A and B are shown apart, each in its own frame.
Chain A
Amino acid sequence: MRTGDYKQSYGELVALIDSPPVWLWSAVLLLALIAAPYLLNSYALSFLMIILITVTGALGLNILTGYTGLISLGHVGFLVTGAYAYAVLVSKYHMPPLVGFLGAGVVPALASLIVGAPSLRLKGLYLAITTLAFSFIINTVILEMRWLTNGARGIQVQRPEILGISFDSDAAFTYLCLAFAALTLFATLNIRRSRVGRAFVAIRDNDTAARVMGINLHAYKLFAFVTSAFITGIAGALYGIYLSFVSVEGFPFLLSIEALAILIVGGLGSALGAVLGTILIVLLPEATRLVFSLFSAQMDATFATGAQELKSMLYGLVIILFLRFQPRGLVGAWHDIKRTWVHWPLRY
């Protein structure tokens, strides 16, 4: 029985999905997600919205960090650029929302060329720090360009109406997020199996070797930056609409860390990993709160007063524990379980 990713032919390597049952599971999941807005209460629905928006952003970062191996600590910069591009176009200049979403993708993509170009010569940690610098510079630029962005006051954003369909209600907006998340998932899976995606992975694994094989490092690195920023920008626009208010404070630096945490916890370089990681990281604070409240009312009170601190402490702890004990993330754990299930009681 097949138990792992054993690719035996070239066709298998570029297949969208490994095995037929996955299509079935995906269809079931999609149906469940379509039914969800009618079944969930508004509290649970807000988590679903956040998960779908975060998945979109995490998949965007996954192209850059997971596939191409370029560490970005400044992805919140693209997120906030996307949100502002949408807010300025739609709220300020009254463009149709579709144009807004397009702008939310294109503007960060252009910005990524600015940060991507100097990054071509940089590697590893130097690159991480340049992207970090970029996200701080973006924040300052936004605060200084008051005529366009209202500076620190931020911009109010309405839920959009696209092609005559209003996405004003939570359920409708969830569908919009679902559409974007599904589209992004499909797109990134396709990028991964295409010529471009395999070039990305080659660069990640050994860039000098990839170059010897005839891969144009500069072009592909820039392309990774642009695609990643495009997707992240759209996630930023969705997040801005979800918050119904776009401001620099709405996009704290911690989001960059959170995004990397999602990739690590899920499994770096895997689209499935980005999805699983998102679900875990988004639901982690809520799950912890539930566990705490089970224990005692007093612990619940501690959690309520120091909730923000405990929440971020958990992020840190989860990142460290995963890197220490399961560096391949949830996807790696899933592969291990599958293998154990088939081979038990043998170890291999």
Chain B
Amino acid sequence: MQYLLQLLISGLAIGAIYGLIAMGFAVIYKSTGLVNFAQGEMTMITAYIAWTISTTVSGNVFVVATGAILAAILLGLIIERLVMRPMLGEPVFATVMVTIGLAVILRSAINFIWDAYPHGLDIGMGRGIMHLGGIGVRTGQIAVIATLLLLLAAIWAFFRYSKVGVAMRAVAADDRTALLMGISATKVHALAWAASSVIAGIGGVFFALSYDLSPAMFQLGLKAFPATILGGLDAVLGSGLGGLLIGITENLAGGYVGSGVKEVAGFAMIIVVLMVRPFGIFGERDIERV
């Protein structure tokens, strides 16, 4: 029982990180209709920038958080402006391949700029261990679960009630009609990239807090794929919840079956889910006409 609870809680914690990155995927998909294969790399860059700030400028939590968020916004905007905007109107295959190219560039750039060794991100908190009913939990793990839930609520409210959120949904549904209604699609895209970069970046920083910072972190993006597919590419909230599900599944598979299975439990799960619902659990079915 103790073992099960321990697995569940650490599964929820890593799942919350997957969920954050998966929400990053979904935000971009929802407003631009493409899967950003560079999401893991963007997550990683934000985490590395947070680490650089904490070691060179100040280890203060607020300084690191502000710096990381600003850097993530900037990163998202730069990528949108330089790489994605010129591809507007191209077929989906081409734009998705561009994000793959981008992923390759960013990944190597990280190895080139920083080094290939693991680092610990230390901002004086998040590594302490709390005891909840006899189970040791890191404060960082509690914090990331709380952050995910808060963000889920905030994003739900944003898409439901704010004018910009409604505009983003409009562009996703039908960009030409949205343009006719006076919505600037490029602004919406830029906002989506910045928001996605920040949300995923938060996930990356939390990962670095609870675990370690290393060049293998881009795999977080691959791990978050199952989460966003499970939830449905166009379901931002579903992706966040999908992350929690994947995290728990992975940890249970790792704890009871074997470490090799842990690595692919998420992927196996999406293949099964996609056979039943090819558009994810919370995704919407596309209607096609010839």
Contacts and interface: CB of A to CB of B under 8 A. Distances in A.
Nearest to B93: A71
B94 interface: yes
B35 A136 contact: no
B260 A208 contact: no
Interface stretch (A13-21, A153-161, A232-240, A313-321): A313-321
A191 interface: no
Interface string A54-72: 0000000000000000010
A144 B260 contact: yes
A327 B83 contact: no
Interface string B121-132: 000000000000
Interface in B164-217: none
A222 to B, nearest CB: 15
A262 B228 CA distance: 29
Contacts of A324: 86-87, 98
A137 B264 contact: yes
Interface string B19-39: 000000000000000110000
Interface in B243-290: 258, 260-261, 263-264, 267-268, 270-271, 274-275, 278-279, 288, 290
A212 B289 CA distance: 12
Interface residues of B, number: 44
Contact of A137 (B86, B90, B267): B267
Nearest to B107: A312
Interface string B88-129: 001011101110111111111101100000000000000000
B28 to A, nearest CB: 12
Contacts of A280: none
A323 interface: yes
Interface of A: 71, 118, 121-126, 128-130, 132-134, 136-137, 140, 143-144, 206, 208-209, 212, 254, 257, 260-261, 264, 306, 308-313, 315-320, 323-324, 327
26 contacts: A118-B271, A118-B275, A123-B278, A126-B274, A128-B35, A128-B96, A130-B270, A130-B271, A133-B225, A133-B226, A133-B271, A134-B267, A140-B264, A208-B290, A257-B100, A257-B104, A308-B108, A309-B108, A309-B109, A310-B112, A315-B104, A318-B101, A319-B100, A320-B98, A320-B101, A324-B86
